[in-house]
Amino acid sequence: MAKVRVSAKVRKETEAGLRRLAHAAGVFIDGDVFKQIVVDPELYTGDDYRVDDDRFAEVKKILFKLKRISECDASLQLWQKCQDGAAIVMPMDRHPKGVKALHPITLAMGEALAGGTAIEEQEIDNVPFLSVYTPIRDSLEDVIGIAEVYGSLAPDKYAIDTLRY
C-alpha cells in the first residue's frame, strides 16, 4: 500500500477534534474510580492483570458517551503507569498498536503523566494516526493515569480498513 498523504488542513482539523475530546475525557473521568480499576497493581505481568469490572464499566460508560458527542472519528483508551516504567492499557476499542502486553511509556505519554497534554503522530501500515494524551487526575489533583484519544489522519476508506485488520 502506498503511503497516505495528509493535508495540513485535515491534520489541523483532526488534531483540534482529538484535543477537545481528550480534554473532556480528562475532565469527566473520575480519577478516584480510575485508580481502583486495576486490582493488585503489584502483580502486573503483561496482559495478565485483574480489573474491578464495576469500576471499569463506570469509566467505560463515560468514554462511550464522550465518543458519541465527538465531532471526529476517534477512539479512546486509558493507560495506567506501572512501577517498571511501562504502562498497561485499558482499551475501549481495538487499537492498531496492539494491546496484549506492557507498553513502554512514550515521550508523549510521559508528558501527560507529568500533567500536560501531548500529541504523538505515528504510522501503522503506511496510514498516519494521531494520538492526543491527557492526564487523568484524582480528587487531590495527582495524575494517576492518562486518557489517549486517537484517530486516523487518512481518508475514511484507509481508516476503516486499517482499524478492522
Domains of the chain: 8-164 (3.30.450.20)
* pLDDT at site 164: 45
Q: Report how far residue 33's alpha carbon sits from residue 20's, in angstroms, rounded to the nearest whole number.
A: 22
Evaluate if pTM is beyond 0.75: yes
For the chain (165 residues), the mean pLDDT of every run of 10, in chain order, is: 71 90 92 83 58 84 84 81 69 53 82 95 82 94 91 64 46
Q: Is the dihedral of CA 122, 90, 98, 86 positive or negative?
A: positive
Q: Report how far residue 94's alpha carbon sits from residue 130's, in angstroms, rounded to the nearest whole number.
A: 15
